[in-house]
Amino acid sequence: MHPRKLDHVAALREADEAGMRAVLLKDHYYPTMPIATLINENMGFKARAIGSIVLNNPLGGLNPSAVDYALKQGARVVWMATAHAKNHMDHEADKPGFKFPQNSKKTVAPIPLTLTDDKGLVRDEVKHILDLIAEADAVVSGGHHHVSELFPFYEEAKARGVKRLFLNHPTYVNDCSLDQVAELAAMGVKMEHSVCMFIPSTFQIFDAAHLRAVVDAAGVENSFFGTDLGQMKNPNPVEGMRQIIAMLMDAGYSDGEIRQMTTTIAADLVGLEA
């Protein structure tokens, strides 16, 4: 649905050749743990594929059963809704030029999803999902829901024993201020920044000054990078990682800090063995 210039196997092959330790496979509309398992068991790469699930409409939305099966089949990361979060859909409707991959085919109209009800309370199905994630010691992201939903969501996650928390591109569709980025980081939420939004690509919206601001708001120890790359007309993920490392060097971060943000923080988050 979102055309790519390389498939999962090609992405892992490039990562393996570059000496990368692992690649997290994410799709907005289907779970990737079966693909990760096939790659890991059949391709002979040292780089590992990590499976995940995103809770958009094709998986039943905020669906505990989908999460239960995914985790028991090896998924390590669960995203709440992304493209089908009400907040994301509002952005697409109200903000001209909002940059997000568009489906190549017409699909059934999505049902907008929220983490909280009209009273601002976390929904029961979300609580159930968080219990499953805690039991599996898996990783959770608040997806593309609004920052006003994220604070109660992460508080609920912590209360239910989820220890591996992160949020993607907090100043993009989630609308976090830098102060809110700092508050979430203080709660134990790691901040993942999308490389595609900082380097030359069809999704570039931020500059080097914003890169420094978002990293400094959360602290190096709470910041890491995923590429969100591989689409047509964009760099491959490995090349994107090289470019963000160069940007971080230009921004004045030390080799040790850059290594943290591009390797160890993400590895620790998903529980990769040393």
Determine what percent of the chain is predicted with pLDDT higher than 90. Answer: 88
8-270 adopts what CATH topology?
A: TIM Barrel (3.20.20)
Mean pLDDT on 200-215: 96
Q: What angle do CA 85, 86, 88 make, to 5 degrees?
A: 65
pLDDT score of 106: 77
Determine which of 4-13, 44-53, 88-97, 244-253 has the lowest per-residue pLDDT on average. 88-97
Beta carbons of 262 and 224 less than 8 angstroms apart: yes
155 pLDDT above the threshold of 70: yes
C-alpha–C-alpha distance, residues 252 and 274, integer Å: 28
pLDDT by residue (tens digit) across 46-72? Answer: 999 999 999 999 999 999 999 999 999
pLDDT at 107: 72
Mind listing the pLDDT tens digit for each residue in 182-192? 999 999 999 99
pLDDT tier for residue 1 given thresholds of 50, 70 and 90: low
User: Is the pLDDT confidence value at 102 over 70?
Assistant: no
pLDDT at 94: 78
Across the range 31-60, mean pLDDT stands at 98
Residue in 167, 175, 116 with CA at minimum distance from that of residue 143: 167
pLDDT at 110: 87
Instruction: Please compute the mean of the pLDDT values over residues 28-40 and round it to a whole number.
Output: 97
Over residues 105-115, the pLDDT tens digits come to 677 888 999 99
CB 50 within 8 A of CB 71: no
- Predicted pLDDT at 73: 97
Those residues whose C-beta lies under 8 Å from the C-beta of residue 15, and which sit 6 or more positions away, are: 22, 23, 45, 47, 237, 238
Q: Quick one: average pLDDT of 86-94?
A: 88
Would you state the structure tokens that stand for residue 230, as one six-digit string? 């591989």
Burial of 75 (0-12, 13-18, 19+ CB in 10 A): buried
Per-residue CA distances from 156 to 77, 107, 124, 160 (Å): 17, 33, 11, 6
Q: How many CA atoms lie within 13 A of 107 on its CB side?
A: 15
pTM of the model: 0.94
Reported confidence tier of residue 91, pLDDT bands at 50, 70, 90: confident
The answer, yes or no, to whether residue 265 has pLDDT greater than 70, is: yes
Each domain of the chain, given as residue ranges in start order, spans 8-270
